Amino acid sequence: MLSIPTSDNRSDSDIVVATLADREQFGVLIERYEAKLRRYIARLGVREIDDQADVLQETFIKAYRNLNSFEQSLAFSSWIYRIAHNEAMTWFRRRRVRPEGNLVAESDEVLELIASSADSPEVQFDQGLNATAITTALADLDPKYREVLILRYFEHKEYEEISDILQIPIGSVGTLIHRGKKQLSSVLNPNTVRI
């Protein structure tokens, strides 16, 4: 198997084009996205490492098989996140389990981001937000809200990217984030959070 340097400065789109000519190039994309996607599907609730590997494999195989459907107008990361999301949902359906979320803690930075980005006056988080409490609360959220909050605050995706990943209108992304934060604040322990 060819060894491909990891410090590849080419854009994702360039590598996609190169992969269509030489399939070994796909390894570069796998290296770029494996860790990110593994974290993402773990956050969606695929907890076991072996399961994560299965979902990841299927994600990359599907991505490779559908490489010609990738269009340059879309960010490659959005495209592959969409595939990973769909594969994770397929995995949940096969296992007949409800995605419960598994928020791989990213410390207070993420939680502060949620708090500081609260665009509704009624959703104002306390500075001393408790990481454990919010992790539990997020796991209890409706999946549709948790998905957008994960993408927004843990994967640091823009609204447009979230729209492309979840295949929903941009307006709905804003609405879901707003409602998700509202629901989050309502399920959080009132002793730990001041609204």
Partner 1 sequence: MDIGQKSPTDVKNTVLSRIVGENICPRARVWYRCRECGVWTLWLLTILLSAAAGAVSFFVIMHRQYALFEATHESFLSFMFEVLPYLWLVVFIIAAGFAYYHFRHTRHGYRYSFLSIAGATVVASLSGGIFLHYFGMSFHFDDFLGKYLPGVYVSQSMMEEKFWQQPEDGRLIVTLVSELDPGAVALVMDVEGIQRVIDITELFTPDVELLRAGTQVRLLGRVLDGAHESTFRACGVFPWLYTHMVPMEQFRRDREAAIARLYDHRDRARAEARAYLTAEVAGVTSLSPPPARACAEIAAVKRLRE
How is residue 72 written in tokens? Answer: 């340059």
Among residues 78, 43, 81, the alpha carbon closest in space to that of 60 is found at: 81
Contacting partner 1 within 132-191 (CB under 8 A): 163, 167-172
Given a contact cutoff of 8 angstroms between Cβ atoms, the answer to whether 178 and 121 are in contact is no
131 binds partner 1 (CB under 8 A): no
Q: Nearer Cβ to partner 1, position 113 or 170?
A: 170
- Kindly tell me which residue out of 24, 126, 140, 142 binds partner 1, with binding defined by CB under 8 A: 24
- Kindly tell me which residue out of 10, 35, 72, 97 binds partner 1, with binding defined by CB under 8 A: 35
C-alpha to C-alpha distances, 127 to 135, 141, 193, nearest whole angstrom: 16, 21, 9
Cα separation, 5 vs 109, whole angstroms: 32
| Size of the residue set binding partner 1 (CB under 8 A) | 37
Q: Nearer Cβ to partner 1, position 118 or 155?
A: 155
Q: Specify the stretch interacting with partner 1 by CB under 8 A; choose among 20-28, 110-118, 132-140, 186-194.
A: 20-28
Q: Specify the stretch interacting with partner 1 by CB under 8 A; choose among 24-32, 108-116, 129-137, 138-146.
A: 24-32
